[in-house]
Amino acid sequence: MDNAKTIEAFNTLIVINNDRIEGYKTAEAEARETDLKMLFSDLMETSVQNRKELVAEVIRLGGTPDEGTRVTGKFFRVWMDVKAALSGNDRKTILDSCEYGEDVILKVYKKILIEDHQDTSSTEQDLLNKHYALLKSDHDKVKDLRDLIINEKR
d(CA 18, CA 73): 9
d(CA 105, CA 22): 13
φ and ψ at residue 101, rounded to 5 degrees: -60, -40
pLDDT tens for 39-83 read 999 999 999 999 999 999 999 999 999 988 776 655 566 556 656
pTM above 0.85, yes or no: yes
